[in-house]
């Protein structure tokens, strides 16, 4: 709207003012119909608006992000796994001014950008506004733009286009200039290398959460996720093959033996029958994204140690399980780190919570909730210690005391919440940040070192009730 007047921009993303510590975030990797290389959405509707509403582009990812939000999740961060030969559509809007689709793919060939004179303008170089159409429908309209610099800046927040200018001091284009984007292609197929590149877009600063690639069952890809988890202190939820063959599932889980990050992975051994977004139809969908949504819903209660399984792990929408297993098979699969669901009382609930860690790590990294507690403490401690970077280390080591007190405060809260195991705090954790691990040689290098020793609480996986019938003549 021209001056005088009011411009109101409604956005769905909030600029964070500090470290992100939301442990319920979902990090998803996969090809989408369209969208940026990486972006966050806060609802199912926003996902479809930004990344496309075509299920055909990647049904497992599409279904699971719908399930993620249906289960009560709040934030999904998507990294597009772009094939190496995929291309972005583009077109010239003026000399030295180019419009690109906001992401690779053939979808960009349906995008047009048109200039319009703002009220009162009647010559090239005067204020304009842009409209963006997708498949013939207007989807975006800019505010009044008075310079190429403003035009380029506006496009950075567009869901459809990015505009570059060789010279931002050049005059604005005139009225009714149309850039019909072309040349976009989906490419052939993504590779392990492009998958790893997509994972790399999830920077540490994006915070904690669960990482998944719905429907991907290749162990090489699971191991790539594990490497990312270990480097970024996150947890992962992966899908094993969609099969009722116990041996195949055990073999698939065993592929993670000794793999980095396996101790922070929950391996889902079933698929779900889940409603589609056009009821009453349903689809067979991977469990991973739905489980990530259940985790996010449970996390909203404020306790990262709460287990998203059993009565806390009931899916709000799942209609059934795609595979069934005997009690004996379920027990064996669970003992070997394969997580299954169970239909009980007319509902589907997650009925296992062991990590995919192999036998060498299983004793110390048994339950997924333990890994999530460590993840949360790692990110919170990192954010807290950042406050001491470039502070002075004086001869009385006050800085070490301050850092130690901060870490004790973090651990104390987790112990009080029951996430750390011990009748007294000193039995549950210990913080070491003193001269014993900060000798003078370390201080001379401008370093402070701290160590946390933690005992994480376990999960009540099996409850054994003994019922004794007492004869009438005896005391109870």
Domains of the chain and CATH, by start: 26-82+190-350 (3.40.50.11780), 90-180 (2.60.40.4290), 390-476 (no CATH)
What was the pLDDT predicted at 6? 55
The residue-averaged pLDDT of 429-453 equals: 95
pLDDT at 1: 43
Model confidence pLDDT, tens digit, residues 115-154: 999 999 999 899 999 999 999 999 999 999 999 999 999 9
CA atoms within 13 A on the CB side of 51: 31
pTM, full prediction: 0.90
Please state, in angstroms and rounded to a whole number, the distance separating the CA atoms of residues 418 and 113.
56
Q: Is residue 320 within 8 Å of 95, Cβ to Cβ?
A: no
Reduce the secondary structure of the chain to three states and give it as a string: CCCCCCCCCCCCCCCCCCCCCCCCCEEEEECCCCCCCEEEECCHHHHHHHHCCCHHHCHHHHHHHHHHHHCCCCCEEEEECCCCCCECCEEEEECCEEEEECCCCHHHHHEEEEEEECCCCCCCCCCEEEEEEECCEEEEECCCECCHHHHHHHHCCCCCEEEEECCCCCCCCCCCCEEECECCECCCCCCHHHHHHHHHCCCHHHCCCEEECCCCCCHHHHHHHHHHHHHHCCEEEEECCCCCCHHHHHHHHHCCCCCCCHHHEEEECCEEEEECCCCCCEEEEECHHHHHHHHHHHHCCCCCCCCCCHHHCECCCCCEECCCCCHHHHHHHHHCCEECEEEECCEEEECCCECCCCCCCCCCCCEHHHHHHHHHHHHHHHHHHHHHCCCCCCCCCHHHHHHHHHHHHHHHHHHHCCCECCCCHHHHEEEECCCCCCCHHHHHCCCCCCEEEECECCCCCCCCCCCCCCCCCCCC
The tokens for 88 are 């972005």
The predicted pLDDT at position 279 comes to 77
| In the predicted structure, residue 10 carries a pLDDT above the cut 70 | no
392-399 contacts: CB < 8 A, separation 24 or more? 393/443, 393/446, 393/448, 397/434, 397/435, 397/438, 399/448
Predicted pLDDT at 319: 96
Which range is least confidently modeled, 11-15, 28-32, 150-154, 155-159?
11-15
Mean pLDDT calculated for residue range 181-201? 96
pLDDT of residue 19: 86
The C-alpha atoms of residue 207 and residue 25 are separated, in whole angstroms, by: 8
Measured distance CA(445)–CA(433) in Å, rounded: 16
- State pLDDT tens for residues 349-373: 999 999 999 887 778 999 999 999 9
Query: pLDDT over 90 for what percent of the chain?
Result: 89
Side-chain-facing half-sphere of 386: CA atoms under 13 Å: 10
Residue 111 Cα distances to 75, 131, 194, 368, angstroms: 27, 10, 25, 44
Asked whether the predicted pLDDT for residue 4 surpasses 90, the reply is no
pLDDT at 386 (0 to 100): 94
User: Rounded to 10 degrees, what is the CA torsion of 414, 450, 232, 15?
Assistant: 70
Q: How confident is the model at residue 255 (pLDDT cuts 50, 70, 90)?
A: very high
* Model confidence pLDDT, tens digit, residues 267-297: 999 999 999 987 779 999 999 999 999 999 9
Q: Which of 390, 337, 339, 326 is nearest to 362 (CA)?
A: 337
Query: What value does the mean pLDDT of the chain take?
Result: 94
In tens, the pLDDT along 424-435 reads 999 999 999 999
pLDDT of residue 116: 97
40-97 confidence digits (pLDDT tens): 999 999 999 999 999 999 999 999 999 999 999 999 999 999 999 999 999 999 999 9
pLDDT score at 14: 45
């Amino acid at each position: 709207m021209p001056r005088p007047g009011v411009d109101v921009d409604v956005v769905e993303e909030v600029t964070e003012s500090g470290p992100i510590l939301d442990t319920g975030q979902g990090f998803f990797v996969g090809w989408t119909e369209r969208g940026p290389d990486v972006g966050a959405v806060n609802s199912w509707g926003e996902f479809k608006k930004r990344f496309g509403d075509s299920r055909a582009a990647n049904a497992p990812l599409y279904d699971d992000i719908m399930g993620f939000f249906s289960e009560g999740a709040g934030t999904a961060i998507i990294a597009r796994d772009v094939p190496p030969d995929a291309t972005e559509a583009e077109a010239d809007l003026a000399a030295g001014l180019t419009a690109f689709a906001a992401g690779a793919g053939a979808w960009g060939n349906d995008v047009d950008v048109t200039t319009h004179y703002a009220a009162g303008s009647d010559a090239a170089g005067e204020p304009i506004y842009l409209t963006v159409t997708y498949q013939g429908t207007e989807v975006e309209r800019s505010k009044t733009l008075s310079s190429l610099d403003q035009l380029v800046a506006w496009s950075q927040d567009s869901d459809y286009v990015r505009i570059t200018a060789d010279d931002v001091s050049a005059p604005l284009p005139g009225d009714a200039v149309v850039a019909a984007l072309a040349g976009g292609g989906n490419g052939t197929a993504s590779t392990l290398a492009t998958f790893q590149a997509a994972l790399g877009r999830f920077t540490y600063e994006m915070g904690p959460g669960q990482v998944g690639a719905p429907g991907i069952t290749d162990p090489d890809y699971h191991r790539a996720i594990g490497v990312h988890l270990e480097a970024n202190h996150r947890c992962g939820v992966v899908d094993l093959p969609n099969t009722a063959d116990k041996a195949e599932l055990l073999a698939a889980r065993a592929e993670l033996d000794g793999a980095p990050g396996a101790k922070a992975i929950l391996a889902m051994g079933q698929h779900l029958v889940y409603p589609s977004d056009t009821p009453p139809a349903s689809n067979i969908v991977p469990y991973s994204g739905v489980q990530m949504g259940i985790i996010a819903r449970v996390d909203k209660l404020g306790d990262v140690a709460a287990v998203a399984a059993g009565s806390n792990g009931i899916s709000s929408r799942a209609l059934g399980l795609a595979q069934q297993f005997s009690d004996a098979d379920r027990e064996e699969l669970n003992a070997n780190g394969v997580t299954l669901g169970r239909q009980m009382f007319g509902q589907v609930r997650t009925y296992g919570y062991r990590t995919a860690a192999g036998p060498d790590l299983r004793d110390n990294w048994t339950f997924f909730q333990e890994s999530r507690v460590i993840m949360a403490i790692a990110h919170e401690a990192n954010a807290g210690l950042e406050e001491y970077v470039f502070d002075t280390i004086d001869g009385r080591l006050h800085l070490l005391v301050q850092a130690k007190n901060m870490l004790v405060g973090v651990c104390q809260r987790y112990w009080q919440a029951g996430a750390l195991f011990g009748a007294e705090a000193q039995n549950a954790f210990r913080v070491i940040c003193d001269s014993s691990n900060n000798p003078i040689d370390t201080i001379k290098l401008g370093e402070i070192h701290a160590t946390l020793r933690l005992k994480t609480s376990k999960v009540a996986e099996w409850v054994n009730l003994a019922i004794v019938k007492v004869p009438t003549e005896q005391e109870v």
